[in-house]
Amino acid sequence: MSSEQATKVVFKGDDNTDFFVIAQPGMVAKWKKDKTIPLVEVVQSFDVFTTPSGSITGEAIRPSNSTLENTFSTTNKDDIVKKIISEGEEKGHAQL
């Protein structure tokens, strides 16, 4: 694994719950300018996370399918990750 840290990309749901994915450093901005870059090169995995408190700090957990459906109107991880990368904000480095 690279010595570079990963980047957390955070999307705030309608109920103010934060959902996030872990992205490769520098790749989110490149992808936003060039959507031909495959998402697999942008994110470290297609896992979506949230925290029990709903903030970006705390233990990362995987949200339930019903939570994903309520927030994103789908449980398709590809679509959810794309929305988080497209509309979310980079919030610094993620601890892996």
pTM comes to 0.86
User: 3-state SS string over 44-67?
Assistant: CCCCCEECCCCCCCCCCECCCHHH
The predicted pLDDT at position 3 comes to 45
Answer positive or negative: Cα dihedral of 18, 52, 56, 74.
negative
| pLDDT by position in tens, the chain (length 96) | 444 689 999 999 988 889 999 999 999 999 999 999 999 999 999 999 998 775 556 788 999 999 999 999 999 999 999 999 999 999 877 655
The confidence score (pLDDT) of residue 55 equals 57
**Structural domains in the chain plus CATH codes:** 7-89 (3.30.1250.10)
